Structure 1
Amino acid sequence: MPTGFLEHANITVSDPDRSSALLQKLCGWHERWRGPSQLGGWTIHVGNERDYLAVYTTGAPVGERFAKGAPLNHVGLVVDDLDAAERIVEEAGLVPFNHMDYEPGRRFYFFDWDGIEFEMVSYD
C-alpha cells in the first residue's frame, strides 16, 4: 500500500507577503519560492524543505470568493512552543480563541486577515 504526506496546500490571501511573514514567524519556515502564478496572480511558497503553504492572490477581494468552511474549515499547524505562537498571533493584531487542552495536545485557533482559520497545536 502506498504511503504519503501533504506536500502543500494553496490558500488565497489578500497580501501574500504579510501571510508569508506570519507563517515564517509562527513555524520557523522560510520562503521557498515566489513568482507569478500559472493562472494569473502572485504566489509565495513558504515552508520547509519537505512541505509548504502556497499563499496566493489574484488581487480580487478575498471575502467575495469564499466563506468560512466553503471549501476549507481550517489549516492545522504544529509548533513546539504554543505560548510563543500565541504571542506572535497577538503581535500581528489577530485574536486567538477556543483554547483547548486534550489528548493528544494543546491548541488554539485564530482567523487571519482574510478569514482563514488556523489551528495551532503543540504536542509537548
Structure 2
Amino acid sequence: MAQAVLEHANITVTNVQKTADMLCKLFDWKIRWASEPGESMDGGTSFHVGSDESYLALYTKGGKGNPGDTYTTIGGLNHIGVVVDDLDLIEGRVREMGFVPNSHADYEPGRRFYFDDLDGIEIEVVSYNT
C-alpha cells in the first residue's frame, strides 16, 4: 500500500505578510518561500509558511479575479488543524496576540481549542500529549 502525506493547503487571506507573521510567532514556523508582490496568479502574492514537511500556502489576490472563484473567497474553508506538543504554551501565545480561544475540549486521544485568526479563519489547536 502506498503512503500518502498531506503536503499543504492553499488559502486566500487578506494580507499574506500579517498572516505569515502570526503563524510563525504562534507555532514557531518559518516562511519557506515567498513570491514577489504581483508575481502570483492574477497579480497576487503567495507565501508558503510551515515546517520542512508541510505548510500552508497563503495567497492574497492582486487583480480582479473571477466572482465565485475560490481564490477570491477569504476564509473559504471549515478550519485548519495544527498539532502541537504544548497546548497550554500555544494557548498563551494565542491570548497574547489578542485572539480568543474557545470550544476547549478533552477527548480521546487529546485536548484541543479553537480560535479565529485575522481573517476569521478558524484554527483548531490540538495536542495528543495528555
Fold conserved between structures, TM > 0.5: yes
2:59 to 42, 47, 56: 56
- The residue that corresponds to 1:33 in the other structure is 33
Query: How many positions carry a matched residue from both structures?
Result: 119
Q: How does 1:67-78 map to 2 (within 5 A)?
A: 71-78=76-83
Q: How does 1:1-124 map to 2 (within 5 A)?
A: 1-35=1-35, 36-59=39-62, 66=73, 71-124=76-129
Q: Residues 59, 98 of structure 1: CA spacing in aligned structure 2 closer, same or farther, 3 A cutoff? A: farther
Counterpart residue identity of residue 28, structure 2: G
Q: CA deviation at 1:3?
A: 1.4
Q: CA deviation at 1:40?
A: 2.5
Q: Residues 75, 114 of structure 1: CA spacing in aligned structure 2 closer, same or farther, 3 A cutoff? A: same
Q: CA RMSD in A?
A: 2.0
Does the CA-based 8 Å contact 1:76-1:119 persist in structure 2?
yes
Gap runs ≥5 in structure 1: none
Query: Given the two structures, how large is their TM-score scaled by the length of structure 2?
Result: 0.82
Counterpart residue identity of residue 59, structure 2: Y
The structure with more radius of gyration:
2
Q: CA deviation at 1:27?
A: 2.0
Does the CA-based 8 Å contact 2:12-2:73 persist in structure 1?
no
